Homo-oligomer: A and B are copies of this chain.
Amino acid sequence: MQGVKIVTIGGGSSYTPELIEGFIKRKDTLPVREIWLVDIPEGKEKLEIVGALAKRMVKAAKLDCQVHLTLDRREALAGADFVTTQFRVGLLDARIRDERIPLSHGLIGQETNGAGGLFKAFRTIPVILDIIKDMRALCPDAWLVNFTNPSGMVTEAAIRYGQWEKTVGLCNVPVISQKKCYEILGLNEEKQELFFQFAGLDHFHWHRVWNKAGKEITRDLINQVYSPENAGKYQIVKNIKEIPYNFEQIQDLGLLPCSYHHYYYLTADMLEDQLEEYKDHKTRGEQVKAIEKELFELYKNPQMDKKPEQLTQRGGTYYSEAACELIESIYSDKRNLMVVSTRNNGTISDLPYDCIVEVSSLITSHGPEPLNWGSFAPNVRGPLQLQKAMEECTIEAAVTGDYGKALQAFTMNPLITSGRIAAQLLDEMLLANREYLPQFQSKIAELE
């Protein structure tokens, strides 16, 4: 590759300035020649606003790179080297429904977990498979860098059903966890004074940490971060409330949990908190909608030619940074460690060979090479195996539109209470999402 062509699906996203900034920061190591920001007609206005900002940023940075804005995905994809995906089917209103409908039944309402996460998968997976169909024709050698959520399931659909082996899934949570860990210990990230190993699934992983002297400090960190005296002191991921874990349970884990485990380890407490937000019409999606409005106002400012600081409040921070880092690593065969969603192939012995896992991997020019992890103890093994099986059912339902399979996924999901309530919730959400679920049309017609 001599000069890289990047295509970003969902280019009108508010994240785009971080992505552009990422390319600007890497101008000496990653020669980006063209950036194509693609969106759908409904996103045209946002695309134009953020696209104009992107152009200003590139110009201000004197990057030798063209930024294109288009609603024609196929035009953009032709000859692409990397395709990144950050689209949101149904926009923020769909997210708000994913949150509010479950909550109206007294169940966790969240973008990537519980019923909301499953419906985001149902809406997104048909689109990613469609994009792959275009890529097969137009850029058969391109890498697909997915950070559309639920990132793990979308990546699994792309690889196993779309058969696009050159897909890598990304998430900002491991990036943030590592940064926080350096911060807590007052150590230097640039010097790689810590060694991290992550394993699990997207938004459902655990990690171990070693220091420069080769000593594992996982338990020290558990004691520091999760002990009753420090409980809730460290805020890891912006959008997840740090309700203190039951300390002895985390000690029994012997591994550091990710922030999303709050939903699984503290379901009742998180729900209580969410129901407050629900009542006040301040679910995360509703908050983000307000933030986004402000952001786009900022983006319109023709003087602005940098990523505005306020974007950091948005929640999805470091997603785009991770994407740029991944692209650079593949481009330059950097062989650094990143946490990505990729084929298991035995990396985690407890999970099916063919599934997608999120694991620490060496990033090479031929893609991620995961560090072997092996087996988990039963305390992690069981929940992890359930989660993956639930994901498998969800993805299959998303691809086939099989109602029984969707109901099965709802029954299996630990954040959805099983029984008639699960069926009712499923039906209500199918109806509410009718325009984004072509695969479920016959069931939806039946429900109407």
Contact = CB atoms under 8 A, between A and B. Distances in A.
Given A214-B367, A347-B374, 15 more contacts: A1-B213, A214-B366, A216-B366, A248-B403, A252-B407, A265-B411, A265-B419, A266-B418, A266-B419, A268-B422, A346-B372, A346-B373, A353-B375, A372-B372, A386-B386
Interface string A330-362: 100101010000000111110001000000001
A382 B389 contact: yes
A219 to B, nearest CB: 12
A246 B416 CA distance: 15
A379 B389 contact: yes
A370 B366 CA distance: 18
A418 B210 contact: no
A379 to B, nearest CB: 5
A210 B364 contact: yes
Interface in A259-278: 264-270
Contacts of A267: 417-419
Interface in A377-429: 378-379, 381-383, 385-390, 392-393, 402-405, 407-408, 411-412, 414, 417-423
B195 A365 contact: yes
Contacts of A246: 407, 411, 419-420, 422-423
A221 interface: no
A378 B195 CA distance: 34
Chain A contact patch, size range:
35 or more
A353 B374 contact: yes
A439 interface: no
Contacts of A362: 337, 362, 371
A369 interface: yes
A253 interface: yes
Given A210-B366, A366-B210, A407-B252, A382 B390 contact: yes
A212 interface: yes
A215 interface: yes
A249 interface: yes
A267 B412 CA distance: 11
B365 A214 contact: yes
A251 interface: yes
Nearest to A410: B249
A197 interface: yes
Nearest to A212: B333
What are the nearest 4 A-B pairs in CB distance?
A382-B389, A214-B365, A252-B404, A345-B374
B372 A369 contact: yes
Contacts of A423: 246, 249
Contacts of A348: 346
17 contacts: A192-B333, A195-B364, A195-B365, A197-B369, A246-B423, A248-B407, A269-B421, A270-B419, A335-B337, A346-B372, A353-B374, A362-B362, A371-B372, A372-B372, A379-B393, A381-B385, A383-B389
A252 B390 CA distance: 13
B374 A371 contact: no
Contact of A252 (B373, B379, B402): B402
Contacts of A345: 349, 372, 374-375
B265 A404 contact: no
A349 B370 CA distance: 14
Nearest to A263: B418
A387 B385 CA distance: 10
A404 B213 contact: no
B417 A212 contact: no
Nearest to A106: B268
A273 to B, nearest CB: 11
Contacts of A365: 195, 210-214
A268 B414 contact: no
A20 to B, nearest CB: 25
B375 A251 contact: no
A269 B353 contact: no
Contact of A371 (B370, B383, B385, B403): B370
A268 B214 contact: no
Contacts of A388: 378, 382
